[in-house]
Chains A and B, each alone.
Chain A
Amino acid sequence: MSDAIIVENLRKTYSNGVEAVKGISFSVHYGEIFGFLGPNGAGKSTTIKTVIGLLKPTSGKIILDGHDVQKDPYKARLAKGYASQETAVDDRLTAYENIYLQGKFFHMKEEEIRKNAEELLKMFGLWERKNDLVETFSGGMMKRLDIAAALIHKPKILFLDEPTLGLDIQTRAAIWEYIRKFKESGMTIFLTTHYLEEADALCDRVAIIDKGQIMALDKPGALKSEIGGDLITITFANTGENTEKFLEAVKKIEGIKSVSKMKNGIYSIVAEKNGDKMIPELFSLAPEFNVQINSVRLKRPTLDDVYMKYTGRTIREAESSRDENMKNRMITRRAKR
């Protein structure tokens, strides 16, 4: 079976000359959660909008569920659901009216809409509020409604553009839960995010995008292990000959890459993997050399480290441009309302 989304050499240059996407290729398998990770302005939204047919690509080919987006836009549009980062629900309609209209736009039968809408609104905890105007909803409820509406026609592929932007932690966790549930039901999910922990927690595979190009693409775990292993930092009650001997012995443990002395009596040990399992070994080894361990810390590489490696800056640095902050604030304000 072919892939759910196939993008070949996609290029998008806006009429004002801005090259938002500079020739990217990737494919998303059926049934996986695929994430686009990058700061605002990296080209994530442009990619998603081009893939679903909202923007015309400057060049390149896009296949959605076997349908060429440019040649057969109708079938391609039927196959997908889309929730934009702006939370596009009409706040002067009720929750049910919003979802009903979406069903009608997908040419569904009245009965089918009623059935799916009930199921979705119940799943998202909005059934009791279905006849309330959306303007009375919180930001999190609006987001849930928006995603529910995107699912009314049971799409094979769901596109989520920054699904948790500006939401509080609990709502974010709830949305993650829903996304995992969709995956279990066999849906393919393409999402963009600039939250590292989101990509890490949800995605089967992640593409790191920066300045319109894919810098890396792999499983989050694989990306992180490229960075190097787990870092264990350790301090001792007293240092001396014993400690040196102890560290020599540690070096010989299988899976330990390196041991080095840092300042202030801190030593760092790099393990290839499973740093957490190394710690008990250190403790069982320590009495043999008569050393007393004072503290141990384990730090695992994060996607932020990965991001740093490929782009030379952290996501937060990449986002510090003023315009982006303004835009972000606008969206956040709307979401919080």
Chain B
Amino acid sequence: MKELIIDSYYIAWRELKKYFRQKTRMIVTVIQPFLWLVLMGNAMSGLTSNPMAAQFLGTGNYLTFMTPGIILMTVMFTSIFSGTTVVWDRRFGYLDKLLAAPIKRGAIPFGKMFAAAVQGLLQAVIIIIVAILFGVKFQSGFLGILMILLIATLLAFILAGFSLALSVRIKTIETLMAVINLFMMPLMFASNALFPVNVMPKWLQAIAKVNPVTYAIVPMRDLTVKGWTQNVWVYTLIILIIDIIVMVWTNRVFKNATAE
């Protein structure tokens, strides 16, 4: 166990070292959520002047409704591409080098998942700061903000793990991108990240029920709009369980990575 953690740390170290070296990538990841908040917040602000809509959203401020959604989306887009690093590593032989080293195999995905989570966390912190500057009030207070960050990190872990597990089988970046995009759309829209579930048609609501993104967004939104609800605890627990399942899965996939 100790070795697994140490090995994962150095895998993550490598990813993060490279991440912080890419200035453009870092700046873009900061600008993107900023644009979302400004553009979407302004464009949709008319919506909340309709009292019916305000009731559905649970708040009089669309920006408040949107903020958790934007945190979630940014984290998703960062973490889901984690698998591309494995495809790339395989391309130039580094994956073989990792597999030939006496490290725990599971450390490869866990390290990369951890790196993705750190990147996601960083972005989430920036969005929250910007949102506060735009007048968004977090009902659950400072501890609630920490909880939001925790949930965002847990979600980053799930999505990164998912894409890493795929990357063991998928050998080209193009195919991996296509597969990821296939999953991204339903993950996004069949959740209440952008629109409340109540206003969705029944069939879409059914998909939203099994979508892990819903389980992340509900507690995040509750923490922002309502405060510490019971859903916060229940849904976070579900997210945690999904995290464990994904970790067991990726660990197995990478352990068998030489099985051919």
Contact = CB atoms under 8 A, between A and B. Distances in A.
Contacts of A104: 6, 10
A105 B103 contact: yes
Given A49-B96, A86-B92, A105 B13 contact: no
Contacts of A106: 101-102
Interface in A61-90: 74, 77-78, 82, 84-90
A74 to B, nearest CB: 5
Nearest to A103: B10
Contacts of B3: 107
A106 B100 CA distance: 10
A185 to B, nearest CB: 22
A334 B101 CA distance: 23
A263 B201 CA distance: 93
Contacts of A89: 94
A56 B93 contact: no
A53 B14 contact: no
Interface residues of A, number: 29
B52 interface: no
Contact of B100 (A14, A52, A86): A52
A56 B102 CA distance: 16
A54 B14 contact: no
Given A15-B260, A87-B93, A54 B99 contact: yes
A15 B92 CA distance: 23
A47 interface: no
A82 B3 CA distance: 21
Nearest to B22: A92
Interface residues of B, number: 24
Contacts of A93: 14, 17-18
B10 to A, nearest CB: 4
B258 A55 contact: yes
A12 to B, nearest CB: 9
B101 A54 contact: no
A52 B97 CA distance: 11
A88 B97 contact: yes
A54 B96 contact: yes
A193 interface: no
A52 to B, nearest CB: 5
A52 B100 CA distance: 7
Interface string A157-196: 0000000000000000000000000000000000000000
B258 A105 contact: no
Contacts of B258: 53-56
Contacts of A87: 92-93
Interface string A105-135: 1110000000000000000000000000000
Interface in B1-29: 3, 6-7, 10, 13-14, 17-18, 21-22
A106 to B, nearest CB: 6
Contact of B102 (A74, A84, A88): A74
B259 interface: yes
B98 interface: yes
Given A54-B100, A105-B7, A105-B98, A92 B21 contact: yes
Interface of A: 14-15, 49, 52-56, 74, 77-78, 82, 84-90, 92-93, 97, 101-102, 104-107, 334
6 contacts: A15-B260, A77-B101, A86-B96, A88-B92, A88-B93, A105-B102
Interface of B: 3, 6-7, 10, 13-14, 17-18, 21-22, 92-94, 96-103, 258-260
